[in-house]
Structure formats: structure tokens, C-alpha cells
Amino acid sequence: MNGQDVKRQQRTIPEELPLLGGMTAAGRTRLLKSAITHRVAAGTVLFDQGSAPTFQHIVIEGSVHLFGRSHGNRGVLIEVVEAPDLVVPAAVMTQAPYLMQARIPRDSQLLLIEASAFRAMLLEEPELARAVILSLSEQFRRMVRQIKNLKLRTSAERVGCYILALAQRQGGGGPVVLPYEKHLIASMLGITPESFSRALALLQKHGIAVEGERISILDREALAAACGPDPLIDGVGEATINRPPRKAAS
């Protein structure tokens, strides 16, 4: 990150973060001495795959997109980390190179804690260690669900189940608003943008209407019958850890 992309914040570091909530006051004070908050501009690359972790990043506001790149420089969106969550704690804990590139999709605020200080504090603060274990567990479950989604479903089934899950997370009252560009969603679902468009066209025969970035579910039962939603894959209704309920889309 360069100085033009990142502005150091003068506001108090939010000690109400769920990750820090169980810590002793003394431990939290020591940990935050090695931490800074940053307002990070959209498009900023936090780190590249293959680089060594120097900070434990925590998303306070906004989100972080994690991309994987091939030898031929083909990139795919693998994961979206939303507030309040840790960004790739597995790399920080194991002191191993990052397997993904982290990029900021829109202006966000992050808490950066020196990696060595973060690891040291885990040995002193059991509740911090517990919170990290829970975050790692949730991230592991998301990855397993993603693998099942990729291996057990057709392209159209993935897109249909994504729409149904998104509708529930957004409140289910009106049209579903796609949260990212269509090519990014296609990448996350393991398909090409062309396959994503074809899947949307096919699903219009099974109860949806598409208008730009908005998708109306006209017949939920028909859509569910066509794509086979499964809470053990889609994660809908599963309690999240260290994360408040998401607000319905406006």
C-alpha cells in the first residue's frame, strides 16, 4: 500500500470489536499499542500472494476481496472478507506466505496489528485465542461449502442458489441487488462471465426476471426446484461468529 492510497486515522481504535471483547483491559491496551487504523481507498492491494505477513488485518468497515492468480496471470475471486473479520489469519498464525492477493473493492477501514505482536498476545490472552479459533473455523466452513458448491452443482444451479441465498441475506422483500460486478460473482462461482449470463437466461424460465444488477424472484418455488438449495452448502441460516447480523439492502 502506498501513502496516497492509505490515510492514517486519528479516531480512537474501536475497542468494541468482537475480536477484542473478551480480552483483559491490560491485554487489549498492550495489543493496540502495536496497532493502527487505516482508511483504505478502493483498488488498494493490501498484499500479494506469495508475500510474507507483516500485519494481522482486521476489517472494521467495508470488505476485502481475496484473489488467486495462476502462472499465466489468470485471476479468480476466491473469498470476500467482510467486517468485522480477520483477513487470512491462517497465514499470520503459521508465518507462511499468503496464498492469495488481497484487494479493497470500495473504501474501507482496517485495523492493522503487527503480526509478531498478535501471535505473542495469543499466548497471553485465552479469549483472544478463542476468538481467532472461531474465526478460522468459520472461514474453514465457508471454504468447504464453496468446494461442495463447485463440485456438486452445475453452473445454473450455483447461480440460482446464489440468488436465493442473497435474497435471504438482503431481507427477501424486494429485488435482489447484486453486490459486486457480474464478472466477479461469476469468478467466485467458478464460471466464466459468459456462463453466468447463460445461467441467468436459463433461470428466467424458472421464476426470475433480470434487470441490470437487480434480479426479481417471481416464483421462489420454481427457482428452488430448478437449483436445489441446501443450507449445508449455501450456509443460509447458519449462525456466524464474530459478526453482527447483516442489514437488509436498501
In a domain, 77, yes or no: yes
The DSSP bridge partners found for residue 55 are 114
- Looking at residue 74, its pLDDT comes to 81
Is 176 in the same domain as 97?
no
Number of domains in the chain: 2
- Looking at residue 221, its pLDDT comes to 96
Is 141 in the same domain as 36?
yes
Residues of the chain with pLDDT under 50: 2-12, 239-250
In a domain, 242, yes or no: no
CB 176 within 8 Å of CB 196: no
In a domain, 247, yes or no: no
Is 144 in the same domain as 169?
no
In a domain, 115, yes or no: yes
At which of 92, 122, 149 does a domain end?
A: 149
Is 57 in the same domain as 177?
no
Compute the chain's Rg from CA coordinates: 19
At which of 114, 149, 184 does a domain end?
A: 149
- Looking at residue 75, its pLDDT comes to 85
Is 73 in the same domain as 39?
yes
Is 141 in the same domain as 165?
no
Question: Rounded CA gap, 73 and 78, in Å?
Answer: 15
Neighbouring C-beta atoms of residue 221, cutoff 10 Å: 10
The DSSP bridge partners found for residue 217 are 208
H or E element, residue 62: none
Is 100 in the same domain as 204?
no
Can you read off the three cell numbers belonging to residue 229?
A: 438449495
Look up residue 250 and give its DSSP letter: -
At which of 149, 180, 212 does a domain end?
A: 149
CB 155 within 8 Å of CB 199: yes
**Domain ranges, residue 169:** 154-234
Can you read off the three cell numbers belonging to residue 250?
A: 436498501
Is 132 in the same domain as 13?
yes
For the whole model, what pTM was predicted? Answer: 0.83
Question: Rounded CA gap, 190 and 12, in Å?
Answer: 40
Neighbouring C-beta atoms of residue 217, cutoff 10 Å: 22
Is 71 in the same domain as 138?
yes
- Looking at residue 10, its pLDDT comes to 35
Cα-Cα-Cα-Cα dihedral sign, residues 132, 92, 56, 47: negative
What CATH number has the domain bearing residue 51? 2.60.120.10
Per-residue pLDDT tens over the stretch 39-75:
999 999 999 999 999 999 999 999 999 999 888 778 8
- Looking at residue 4, its pLDDT comes to 38
In a domain, 249, yes or no: no
* Angle at CA of residue 151, ends 48 and 47, nearest 5°: 5
Question: Rounded CA gap, 198 and 193, in Å?
Answer: 9
What CATH number has the domain bearing residue 210? 1.10.10.10
In a domain, 250, yes or no: no
- Looking at residue 200, its pLDDT comes to 96
Give every CB contact of residue 112 below 8 A, 6+ residues apart in sequence.
35, 36, 37, 38, 55, 56, 57, 58
Is 99 in the same domain as 175?
no
Is 164 in the same domain as 190?
yes
**Phi and psi for 129 in degrees, rounded to 5?**
-60, -40
Look up residue 95 and give its DSSP letter: T
- Looking at residue 238, its pLDDT comes to 59
The DSSP bridge partners found for residue 112 are 36, 57
In a domain, 18, yes or no: yes
CB 46 within 8 Å of CB 87: yes
Is 16 in the same domain as 113?
yes
In a domain, 245, yes or no: no
